[in-house]
Amino acid sequence: MNDLSACKRCGSEKLIKSGQQKNAQKTKWKQTYKCKNCGLKFYGLKEHFIDYEKEKFEYIPKEIVKRSWATYDEYQLNEKMLFLQILREILDFFVFEQVNKNGRPVKNTKDILFGMVMKTYNVNSARRTISDLKIQKQLGNISDVPCFATLMNYFNNSDFKFILEKMVDLSAMPLKDFEHHFSSDATGLSTSQFGRWFDAKFGVEKEKKLFRKLHAMIGVKSNVITCAIITKQAGEQTSDTSQYPFLLKKTSINFTVKEVSADMAYLSRKNLELTDSIGARPLIPFKSNSTARNKGKVWKEMFYYFKDHKQDFFRKYHNRSNVEATFGMIKQKFGSALFTKNWVAHQNEILCKVVCHNICCLIRAYYCLNLEKPFSTETSKNEIITIKL
């Protein structure tokens, strides 16, 4: 489109150009004109970047990979046997130094942890788990069978939280060469407790079941959880975005992170810049009222990438669906409700679910992703973790 040659009011050709403004997409800009004859100020639109065409968004369905039922059958038939073997190998990384205390003698910590994880894997009560532990004693996986009440009491041990977090890390490590794209989200696991809350709209007090939040960073290829944080359902430091920095930093220690996808709850300048600082691309969709102004270089780059290349953005962002699949796998296989009664036990029980899930992901990767072996059968002395209890 050519420049205007005459005034819109009087038709005079004596015009003065006084400035121009570009729109957000940089496809057009406004030229300001002033007529010397009648003094009218008006705008004229002029095309900018004539060769520019905004990419049209077209939904392309994900390619469906045909499942090998022979491989699936073999994986399912051997899962429990390999699960017990890998669990035993993970516990071999730990050396527990028992501190002398007054009272009853302390139980073997490895046997207790083995029983806690096995109870969670079987989704059984503590009483029914004892029969399985007796079989494991005959096989040599444990040295002693604890009482069912003792087993449940150890869920209340706050020292076990650190140990179980280390087990989560160890169970994810064999997949460090497979996983480079990650996704973060949170889900709720219900408890048997009820909490009171006041409904300000209707002015009545109600009861509602309490739940615990599992914040997790997962690898989108194998669904393995690389880092897990448990918080209460509400309160300080319980939001999704507040837990994101720790999840990302801890994952980047053991894994090479190239892309991270998350929903709009994680959208913030701090999260985008943190992801970019470790050499990864943040794939977080922008809100309808988001702009590129005064938000920094990373925000601006990702904003225009989201606006101008939606097809490519959403194709990669679709990996985020795997984090929802991961939570579904945990709840369907190991239960969505917690059997324990207090906050400390809730954390330990959820971490046991995560350990079970990660071990199952290792076994599936061994059969489906051509992983050399589900876990190392030899433990180096340099990798031994010594814990005093």
| pLDDT score at 67 | 83
Instruction: Pick the range with the lowest mean pLDDT from 37-46, 48-57, 72-81, 268-277.
Output: 48-57
Residue 328 has φ and ψ, to the nearest 5°, of -65, -40
| pLDDT score at 1 | 41
Percent of the chain with pLDDT over 90: 58
| pLDDT score at 48 | 47
CA distance linking residue 212 with residue 232, whole number of Å: 5
Protein fold of 179-338:
Nucleotidyltransferase; domain 5 (3.30.420)
CA distance linking residue 139 with residue 117, whole number of Å: 17
Return the CA Rg of the chain.
29
Answer whether residue 27 shows pLDDT above 60.
no
| pLDDT score at 16 | 83
Are the C-beta atoms of residues 1 and 47 closer than 8 Å to each other?
yes
For strands 204-219 and 225-232, give the pairing. antiparallel
Tokens of 44: 């004229």
Mean pLDDT rounded to a whole number for the chain = 86
Residue 160 has φ and ψ, to the nearest 5°, of -75, -20
Of 39, 157, 60, 70, the residue nearest 109 (C-alpha) = 157
202-244 pLDDT tens trace: 777 777 778 999 999 999 999 999 999 999 988 888 999 999 9
* Confidence band, pLDDT 50/70/90 cuts, at residue 373: confident
Q: Is the dihedral of CA 124, 161, 212, 185 positive or negative?
A: negative
182-208 pLDDT tens trace: 999 999 999 887 766 666 677 777 777
| All structural domains of the chain with their residue ranges | 1-53, 179-338
Q: How many CA atoms lie within 13 A of 148 on its CB side?
A: 10
CA distance linking residue 223 with residue 200, whole number of Å: 40
